[in-house]
Amino acid sequence: MDFEFSAEERAFEAEVEAFLAAERSPDVMDAAPEQLSQTVDTQPKRAFMRKLAERGWLGMSWPKEYGGQERPGIYDFLLTEALSRCGAPQPGKGVGIVGKTIIRHGNETMKRLFLPQIMRGEVEFAIGYSEPGAGSDAANMQLRATRDDARRGWVLNGQKIWTTSAHFADWYWVGARTGEHKHKGITLFLIPMDHPGLTIRPTWTIGDERTNEVFFDDVFVSDDFVVGQLNAGWTYICEALDLERFAMMPVGPLEKKVEAICEWVRTARRDGELVRRDPRARRAIAQLVTQLEVARMLQRRVLSEAVKGGVPTCESSQYKLFMNECSKKTANAALDLIGSESQLEAGEPTAPLGGRFARSYRYTVVDTIGGGTSEIQKNIIARRKLGLPT
């Protein structure tokens, strides 16, 4: 399997890196990025996204009839990785989960309304799958959509949780129950976030980020905003997650964390001795660097399968599971190597590495949930890769 990039791909990567160097700004970029933190939640970040659109970098792999360039998916990957390394917001859900599903399954009304806005970087989406009784097992969602024939649409009542973008997104991409079959009774809807009957309440995570509860009280959705076929939503959800999981978990933030702890070890002293001379420290660093390289190769396997036109279900699960564990091990090792001062938070004047790893230690827990929990990834690998019984 050839994981090397072509000269054209390397040239595009260099072009993106030069653009990011010119656009570097603390209002847009996180100096210590974590995996899921690069959201488009401020006006400067929205303006940055429009700049990406002006360069034709959004939806590069989309069909030309919808504004894309029909470039290989490798270019979307290179853009995502470059953005992740500098903590910049990423195209994310609109270009990926929402846009690609609308292209495959959406009606003409949706295509005319949403696809041009996505390509121009003008619209943000929140994703609503998880519920109080349907977190890891999203197919158990109970948000109810009841048919309203008189108005030619559906009325939604219930609740969603862990909707990270709900407080700043423009539209809600949400799954609701329209049938009794667990997997063949779910339909996807698109709802404006300012719709009457939607109530948003904040939930703060251990990683210092806001997610949200969203409550539905007789929220009406017309048939024009039903995504694809009735009761086919679960198929669309799984399809999108399989294709996007490697983009949701770029390796760039992990690279930067490993680089940061390596730099610290190179110059730090303890009891007058250089930490890098301690065999235990050298062993810990060697393990982190090795695990980072394994993560890169697992990611390339996902990419290779996706570029060939396959659906990298098991490869995505293997990569995400390993990445989550690698992120936790990196944060744990950093705290062990730095010692008690590593618990100082960002903003403390004497915090080593700006308090980066105190935050990272907490944030790695969040990574094990977003995009499907580690337990779900293990189940996918067990059933679909190893053929084990349910």
What CATH number did the domain enclosing 37 receive?
1.10.540.10
| Residue bearing the bigger pLDDT, 2 or 269 | 269
Domain assignment present for residue 237? The answer is no
Joined together, the tokens standing for residue 373 give 């929990």
Both 357 and 257 in one domain: the answer is yes
CATH code, 306 = 1.20.140.10
Domain of 172, CATH number, reads 2.40.110.10
The confidence score (pLDDT) of residue 224 equals: 97
Do 21 and 140 share a domain, yes or no? no
In a domain, 291, yes or no: yes
Q: Give residue 272's domain range.
A: 251-385
Residues of the chain with pLDDT > 90: what percent?
A: 71
Same domain, 283 and 369: yes
Q: How far apart are CA 69 and CA 128, in angstroms?
A: 29
Residue where one domain finishes, among candidates 107, 123, 139: 123
Residue 355 within a domain: yes
Angstrom distance (rounded) from CA 178 to CA 151? 17
Distance CA 216, CA 172 (A): 12
Residues 264 and 340 in one domain: yes
- Encode the chain in three state secondary structure: CCCCCCHHHHHHHHHHHHHHHHCCCCCCCCCCCCCCCCCCCCHHHHHHHHHHHHCCCCCCCCCHHHCCCCCCCHHHHHHHHHHHHCCCCCCHHHHHHHHHHHHHHCCHHHHHHHHHHHHCCCCCEEEECCECCECCCHHHCCCEEEEECCCCEEEEEEEECCCCCCCCCCEEEEEEECCCCCCCCEEEEEEECCCCCEEEEEEECCCCCEEEEEEEEEEEEEHHHEECCCCEHHHHHHHHHHHHHHHHCCCHHHHHHHHHHHHHHHHCEECCEEHHHCHHHHHHHHHHHHHHHHHHHHHHHHHHHHHCCCCCHHHHHHHHHHHHHHHHHHHHHHHHHHCHHHHCCCCCCCCHHHHHHHHHHHHHHHHCCCCCCHHHHHHHHHHHHCCCCC
pLDDT at 90 over 90: no
For 372, residues 6+ apart whose C-beta sits below 8 A from its C-beta are 136, 241, 245, 317, 320
Q: Is residue 238 part of a domain?
A: no
Which of 81, 107, 123 is the C-terminal boundary of a domain? 123
Same domain flag for 24 and 114: yes
The answer on pLDDT for 108 being more than 80 is yes
- The total number of structural domains in the chain stands at 3
Instruction: Report d(CA 130, CA 135) in Å as an integer.
Output: 5
* Residues 142, 78 within the same domain: no
At 243, the pLDDT band (50, 70, 90 cuts) reads low
Instruction: Specify whether the CB–CB gap between 80 and 95 falls below 8 A.
Output: no
Place of tokens 């660097």: 289
On the question of pLDDT at 340 being above 70, the answer is yes
Query: Is residue 348, in this structure, part of any structural domain at all?
Result: yes
Mean pLDDT, residues 283-297:
96
Is the domain of 97 the same as that of 130? no
Which of 126, 213, 131 is CA-nearest to residue 171? 126
- Asked if residue 267 and residue 189 are part of one domain, the reply reads no
Q: Are 81 and 252 in contact (CB under 8 A)?
A: yes
Q: For residues 178 and 147, what is the distance between their CA atoms, to the nearest angstrom? A: 8
pLDDT digits (tens, 9 = 90+) for 32-86: 888 665 678 899 999 999 999 999 999 999 999 999 999 988 898 899 999 999 9
Task: Give the per-residue pLDDT at 246.
Answer: 52
pLDDT, tens digit (0-9, with 9 covering 90-100), for 181-210: 999 999 999 999 999 999 999 999 888 889
Integer angstrom CA distances of residue 122 from 91, 92, 94, 107, 113: 11, 13, 10, 20, 12
Verify that 112 and 137 share a domain, yes or no. Answer: no
Q: What percent of the chain has pLDDT over 70?
A: 96
pLDDT of residue 249: 74
Query: Domain for residue 366, yes or no?
Result: yes
Claim to verify: residue 226 and residue 281 sit in the same structural domain: no
- Residues 266 and 381 placed together within one structural domain of the fold: yes
Q: What is the overall mean pLDDT for the chain?
A: 91
Query: Has residue 390 been placed in a domain?
Result: no
- Helix 74-85 vs helix 252-267: angle between axes, to the nearest 10 degrees? 40
| Domain annotation covers residue 241 | no
Do 87 and 183 belong together in one domain?
Answer: no
Q: Kindly state the tokens that stand for 76.
A: 């979307």
Domain closes at, from 231, 259, 276: 231
CA dist., res. 340 & res. 378, Å (int): 34
d(CA 281, CA 337): 7
